[in-house]
Amino acid sequence: MSVTATGVIKTFGDYTALSNVSLEAREGEFLALLGPSGSGKTTLLRILAGLEFPDAGQILIGGEDMAGRPARDRRVGFVFQQYALFRHMTVADNIGFGLTVRPRGSRPATREIARRVAELLELVQLPDLGRRYPAQLSGGQRQRVALARALAVEPRILLLDEPFGALDAKVRKDLRRWLREVHDRTGLTSIFVTHDQDEALDLADRVVVMDHGCIEQIDTPEALWDRPASAFVCDFLGGANRVAAIASDGIIDVGGIRLPNHAPALQDGPVTGFIRPHEFSLAAPGSPGIPVTIRRCLRTGAQAALETETHDGAIIEVTLSEPPAGLVPGLTQVLVPTAIRAYPV
Amino acid sequence: MSVPAATAEPRWVRWLLIAVALGFLALNLALPLAAVFVEAFRKGVAAYVAAIRDPDALSALRLTLTVAAIAVPLNIVIGLAASWAIAKFDFRFKPFLVTLIDLPFSVSPVVSGLVYVLVFGMQGWFGEWLRDNDLQVIFAVPGLVLATIFITFPFVARELLPLMEEQGRDEEEAALSLGASGLSTFWHVTLPNVRWGLLYGVLLCNARAMGEFGAVSVVSGHIRGKTNTMPLHIEILYNEYNFAAAFAVASLLAGLALVTLVLKSALEWRFAGQLAGRGH
Amino acid sequence: MASVALPMVASAPDSRQALGMRLGILQRQRSIIPGFGVTMGITVFALSVIVLIPLSAVFITSAGLGWDGFAATAFSRRALAAYRLSFGAAAAAAAINAVFGLITAWVLVRYDFTGKRLVSALVDLPFALPTAVAGIALTALYAPNGWIGRWLAPLGIDIGFTPRGVVVALIFVGLPFVVRTVEPVLADLGADVEEAAATLGASRLQTFVHVILPAISPALLTGCALAFARAVGEYGSVIFIAGNMPFRSEIAPLLIVVQLEQYNTGGATAIAATMLVISFVLLFGINLLQGWQRRLRTT
């Protein structure tokens, strides 16, 4: 089922959490809301779920206007950051809760609920844990129970708030793949909130990058990576080195090297360029490019990671896939950028 | 706190619950409190003043203050000692000791008085010895003080203990390692850290000490002008159908209760972080 | 006070403690902090002289009565009626406080209204107001010619000088225990659990019954148990309003006083011993409850 938000505004007192946000998640899509804390991503998710109500704007789920519809009538599956499991209930009771509280007319029979629960336990790969209590589960297991509980009510869409936020790195990676599989199997339109760009790029069909209550860019992971729409997006995706450059006629000049711009067109004059670590090659001192001194060199297998320093003290990180021999700290070299994304200063 | 829309009750439910709660509190707490003051002035200000200036009332007031003046400081010493020993050291049976300190809370005030009758009364363990040496505990001030300490025994320790345990012993160990003596460490490091909690405990201890009825009733003997504390004096006046006078004296104690509540609330608002866990 | 049985957090055991334990029964770990001997000495001395030895007198004296002597008073018909009233009225008051105390705590934690701080402070009134004062005030309200009693009397409802009066007094005494025990637990309850219930389709009432109530019920039970324990032994606030008719409105603590006034110290002691035993059982029960509550709260 598709989800559409149009012109959503939400303020808390003087604080603007969302200023005029619009987006669409298509049928069956897996969408990531990515941004730093305070960017409004969680507020947007909660508005979609009906846990908050927007000051202005419209929410459509499956084409239906959600205005004034409380959370319990939206049939939205919501997985909370800390899972919010009912700790006095067994895992099975947790999962069956949404079915148990249905009005008498539409409530499945007890046996039917038990069957659904068993099915969902199977789906989240915890078939034998139905009688345990949440306190007896590991973090990853609780996460799966929370998901099963959300799925039990046969939601029209699935919303997940920082689904991996409370887990350690190893479990996080495993669950990521698994969640994607579950999504592909159920075909539910899913939206999840994260502040981890790897997670968003790795998992989502499309990523919505947010900052200060505004959407900076909505794109596929590839497009986002290749053509960040703003300096914020480029910076937030991480790893890029910031350099000063000059733009003229759409060509960017860095230390005498002239490159086409990989970002939206911009006016002539000084600009901020972003160059990723692998987008450099080395040249001998005196060549055009950015003269630097090598501070540190770390070789891992065939690769080398260099930490270099420019004349004015800025640090530039470089990754070389075929490093020459003799890269030692103190050596002076010139960095030749091979690609650049430039934005207004 | 603004409740998120999804978890807020309908407006009418909210209003209903607030109305029920306020109605219940008004009926059970505010109304009795109001009754004390209204009944106290039922026969006019002159009767009120006369009831309070009555020599028996004044001597009851004096005795109440005396008993509190002995019992509360003793309780502070015991409370400080107990929480220091329990919070700053590790030893076996610690939970058991804590339970014993709490014990007086679960003993009926009447029983708390009775135990001293059994020990110091005429037929009690030390009854004969006391009589031979011309000493009196029961039906005298020492009995009142003992019963009051018994009743209030846990108050100060109860407040200080969690606070001291929370603060651990790092600061004391730092002070000692810097060459401070044990006593000056206590005075300059420990006490400032727990002073508001101590004041809180003392406040409640004092309220209970001045207001205690059941325990002192058993050990006092109700000798007018001699062993009657204010609560006991109220009882006597009341049983003599001298209601206005009884309520006049009661209004003084109710005033004390109000002052206690105001100070207590002020402490809770200002120094919430420096009190143990939560309010009483 | 509500603090009666708050869990005391014992310091985390460390290796030095283990060493200290091996050194003997009350042996502290080796610590540079001075004053263990003095403070422990004061504590144990005061505890023994003021609390433990006098309390033991109740049991030693009771033992001296012999079974028949003990049972003659402790289990006389009049005493049984008194226990029944004390425990029955305490239970009724606790039950009423459970309902209204919960509503009060809920309103204080969840809603904003003018005068909330004042109301919150007022809840502690029973802790601060001397019981005798509460007793005569309640009597002034509920006696047949009292503020409230005079409106109820024509309806045939008597509160003052009946067992109902005892319940009214015990409600007064126990209310803050329930409110103050439930309040922090209610405040700590995560909003996300209630939101989760909402997104799963539960109505507000269902959320309360299935999610909130189970989470706070240990605290509610503890608060009731504390109120109950206090109410069973309560004396000052009850005797004025109760009417004190033997077999009808005479509470157990009053019966002790009556025995004393008749110079029947043995009988008074027998009743006191019976009440103490029951109180200790209650205390033990409360500790179990709190252990349960602690376990539930540490997920």
pLDDT tens-digit profile of A14-37? Answer: 899 999 999 999 999 999 999 999
Of the candidates B160, B25, B28, the one whose C-alpha atom is nearest the C-alpha of residue B81 is B160
Residues of C with Cβ-Cβ distance to B85 under 8 angstroms = 35-36, 39-40, 43
Q: What is the pLDDT of residue B5?
A: 63
- Chains with ≥3 Cβ pairs under 8 A against C? A, B
Q: Kindly determine whether residue C100 and residue B280, on different chains, have CB atoms separated by under 8 Å.
A: no
Q: Kindly determine whether residue C199 and residue A71, on different chains, have CB atoms separated by under 8 Å.
A: yes
- Nearest CB partner across the interface for C195, out of A84, A135, A149: A84
- Chains with ≥3 Cβ pairs under 8 A against B? A, C
Q: What does the longest C-alpha to C-alpha distance in chain A come to?
A: 82
Res. A43: pLDDT tops 90: yes
Enter the ipTM.
0.90
How big is chain A, counted in residues? 345
What's the rounded Cα separation, in Å, for the pair A310 and B9?
62
Q: What is the pLDDT of residue B57?
A: 93
Q: What is the pLDDT of residue C284?
A: 83
> Which tokens go with B3?
């409740």
Q: What is the pLDDT of residue A111?
A: 94
Task: Give me the mean pLDDT over the C71-80 stretch.
Answer: 93
Task: Give me the mean pLDDT over the A38-52 stretch.
Answer: 93
Q: What is the pLDDT of residue C18?
A: 43
Task: Give me the mean pLDDT over the B90-100 stretch.
Answer: 87
Q: Kindly determine whether residue A77 and residue C199, on different chains, have CB atoms separated by under 8 Å.
A: yes
Q: Kindly determine whether residue B101 and residue C47, on different chains, have CB atoms separated by under 8 Å.
A: yes
Q: What is the pLDDT of residue B217?
A: 93
For chain B positions 3-62, those within 8 Å of chain A (CB to CB) are: 4-6
Res. C10: pLDDT tops 60: no
Res. C88: pLDDT tops 50: yes
Residues of B with Cβ-Cβ distance to C22 under 8 angstroms = none
- Residue C297: pLDDT band (50, 70, 90) is low
Res. B232: pLDDT tops 50: yes
Q: What is the pLDDT of residue C296?
A: 63
Q: Kindly determine whether residue B280 and residue C276, on different chains, have CB atoms separated by under 8 Å.
A: no
Q: What is the pLDDT of residues B15-61, one digit of tens each?
A: 999 999 999 999 999 999 999 999 999 999 999 999 999 999 999 99
What's the rounded Cα separation, in Å, for the pair A175 and A164?
8
Query: Going by C-beta distance under 8 Å and a sequence separation of 6 or more, which residues neighbour residue A177?
Result: none
Q: Kindly determine whether residue A78 and residue C203, on different chains, have CB atoms separated by under 8 Å.
A: no
Element housing B65 (H / E): helix B55-88
Pinpoint the alpha helices (H) of A227-329: 231-237
Task: Give me the mean pLDDT over the C89-115 stretch.
Answer: 96
Q: Kindly determine whether residue C235 and residue B214, on different chains, have CB atoms separated by under 8 Å.
A: yes
Q: Kindly determine whether residue A153 and residue C201, on different chains, have CB atoms separated by under 8 Å.
A: yes
- Nearest CB partner across the interface for C215, out of A88, A135, A149: A88
- Nearest-Cα distance to chain B for A282, in Å, is 56
- Nearest CB partner across the interface for B264, out of C43, C108, C124: C124
What DSSP string runs through B216-274? HHHHH---TTTT--HHHHHHHHHHTT-HHHHHHHHHHHHHHHHHHHHHHHHHHHHSGGG
Q: Kindly determine whether residue B234 and residue C136, on different chains, have CB atoms separated by under 8 Å.
A: yes
- Nearest-Cα distance to chain B for A179, in Å, is 27
- Residue A162: pLDDT band (50, 70, 90) is very high
What's the rounded Cα separation, in Å, for the pair C124 and C173?
10
CB A189 within 8 A of CB A157: yes
- Residue that the structure tokens 């509280």 belong to: A101
Provide the residue type at C160 as one letter: G
Residues of C with Cβ-Cβ distance to B30 under 8 angstroms = 122
Core vs surface per residue A14-25: b (16+ CB within 10 A) or e: eebbbeebebeb
Q: What is the pLDDT of residue C29?
A: 58
CB B151 within 8 A of CB B212: yes
User: Please, what CATH class does the domain formed by B44-274 belong to?
Assistant: mainly alpha
Residues of C with Cβ-Cβ distance to B124 under 8 angstroms = 57
CA distances for A281 relative to A235, A277, A320, angstroms: 21, 10, 7
* Burial of A120: CB neighbours in 10 Å, binned 0-12, 13-18, 19+: buried
CB C31 within 8 A of CB B176: no
For chain B positions 202-261, those within 8 Å of chain C (CB to CB) are: 204, 207, 210-214, 217-218, 230-232, 234-235, 238, 243, 246-247, 250, 253-254, 256-258, 260-261
Q: Which of A61, A72, A73 to mutate to test the interface with C (most CBs of C within 10 A)?
A: A72
More confident position, A169 or A99:
A99
Res. C14: pLDDT tops 50: no
* Strands laid side by side in the A3-12 sheet: A15-25, A3-12, A56-61, A64-65
More confident position, C34 or B147:
B147
Task: Give me the mean pLDDT over the B215-221 stretch.
Answer: 91
What are the residues facing A315 on neighbouring strands? A309
CB B130 within 8 A of CB B95: no
Residues of B with Cβ-Cβ distance to C180 under 8 angstroms = 278-280
Secondary structure class of A75 (helix, strand, coil): coil
Residues of A with Cβ-Cβ distance to C298 under 8 angstroms = 135
Q: What is the pLDDT of residues C134-163, one digit of tens each?
A: 999 999 999 999 999 999 989 989 998 999
Q: Kindly determine whether residue A81 and residue C192, on different chains, have CB atoms separated by under 8 Å.
A: yes
Q: What is the pLDDT of residue C28?
A: 52
Q: What is the pLDDT of residue C30?
A: 63
Chain-centroid distance of CA A255 in Å reads 34
> Which tokens go with C293?
């509550």
More confident position, A12 or A345:
A12
Q: Kindly determine whether residue C210 and residue A101, on different chains, have CB atoms separated by under 8 Å.
A: yes
- Nearest-Cα distance to chain C for A150, in Å, is 7
Q: What is the pLDDT of residue C21?
A: 42
For residue C194, the chain A residue with the least C-alpha distance is A84
Q: What is the mean pLDDT of chain A?
A: 91
Percent of chain A at pLDDT above 90? 62
Task: Give me the mean pLDDT over the B57-69 stretch.
Answer: 95
CA angle, residues C238, C244, C247, in degrees to nearest 5? 120
- Nearest-Cα distance to chain B for A49, in Å, is 9
For residue A51, the chain C residue with the least C-alpha distance is C195
Q: Which of C189, C195, C199 to mutate to test the interface with A (most CBs of A within 10 A)?
A: C199
Q: What is the pLDDT of residues C283-295, one digit of tens each?
A: 788 778 777 766 7
Task: Give me the mean pLDDT over the C160-175 stretch.
Answer: 95
- The percent helix, strand, coil of chain B (3-state, each to 5) is 80, 0, 20
What's the rounded Cα separation, in Å, for the pair C137 and B146?
28
- Chains with ≥3 Cβ pairs under 8 A against A? B, C
- Please write down the HEC assignment for all residues of C117-147: HHHHHHHCHHHHCCHHHHHHHHHHHHCCCCC
Pinpoint the alpha helices (H) of chain C: 15-22, 36-46, 53-74, 77-110, 116-123, 125-128, 131-142, 149-152, 163-188, 191-199, 204-207, 213-233, 236-242, 252-261, 265-297
Q: Kindly determine whether residue A72 and residue C193, on different chains, have CB atoms separated by under 8 Å.
A: no
Q: Kindly determine whether residue B24 and residue C100, on different chains, have CB atoms separated by under 8 Å.
A: yes
Q: What are the extents of the domains in chain B?
A: 1-40, 44-274
A–C: how many Cβ contacts below 8 A?
A: 77
- Nearest-Cα distance to chain A for C121, in Å, is 29
Q: Kindly determine whether residue C199 and residue A51, on different chains, have CB atoms separated by under 8 Å.
A: yes
Task: Give me the mean pLDDT over the A79-98 stretch.
Answer: 93
What's the rounded Cα separation, in Å, for the pair C278 and A181?
60
Q: What is the pLDDT of residue C136?
A: 96
CB C222 within 8 A of CB C290: yes
Res. C34: pLDDT tops 90: no
Provide the residue type at C140 as one letter: A
Q: Kindly determine whether residue C203 and residue A50, on different chains, have CB atoms separated by under 8 Å.
A: no
Query: Going by C-beta distance under 8 Å and a sequence separation of 6 or more, which residues neighbour residue A182?
Result: A123, A124, A147
What angle separates helix C163-188 from helix C213-233, to the nearest 10 degrees? 140
- Nearest-Cα distance to chain C for A290, in Å, is 52
Secondary structure class of A25 (helix, strand, coil): strand
CB C241 within 8 A of CB C139: yes
**Structure letter (DSSP) for residue A212:** T
CB B198 within 8 A of CB B26: no
CB C137 within 8 A of CB B231: no
Q: What is the pLDDT of residue C2?
A: 37
- Residue B105: pLDDT band (50, 70, 90) is confident
- Nearest-Cα distance to chain B for A72, in Å, is 8
- The helices-and-strands tally (H runs, E runs) of chain B is 14, 0
Q: What is the pLDDT of residue C19?
A: 39
Residues of A with Cβ-Cβ distance to C197 under 8 angstroms = 86, 97, 101
Q: What is the pLDDT of residue C278?
A: 87
> Which tokens go with A24?
């669409």
Q: What is the pLDDT of residues A260-295, one digit of tens each?
A: 887 777 788 899 999 999 999 988 888 899 999 999
- Residue C243: pLDDT band (50, 70, 90) is confident
- Nearest CB partner across the interface for A101, out of C190, C201, C296: C201
What are the residues facing A297 on neighbouring strands? A306
What's the rounded Cα separation, in Å, for the pair A124 and A101?
22
Domains by residue range for chain C, with CATH:
33-64 (no CATH), 66-298 (1.10.3720.10)
B–C: how many Cβ contacts below 8 A?
A: 364
Mode of pairing for the β-strands spanning A3-12 and A15-25: antiparallel
Task: Give me the mean pLDDT over the C258-279 stretch.
Answer: 92
What's the rounded Cα separation, in Å, for the pair B154 and B75?
8
Residue C160's φ and ψ, nearest 5 degrees, are: -60, 145
What's the rounded Cα separation, in Å, for the pair C242 and B181?
57
Q: What is the mean pLDDT of chain C?
A: 87
CA distances for C105 relative to B6, B277, C171, C180, C206, angstroms: 21, 17, 15, 7, 19
Task: List residues of chain A with CB under 8 Å from any CB of chain B.
Answer: 49-53, 70-72
CB A252 within 8 A of CB A261: yes
Secondary structure class of C96 (helix, strand, coil): helix
Res. B92: pLDDT tops 90: no
Q: What is the pLDDT of residue B221?
A: 80
Residues of A with Cβ-Cβ distance to C193 under 8 angstroms = 84-86
Lowest mean pLDDT, pick from A132-141, A212-221, B160-169, C4-13: C4-13
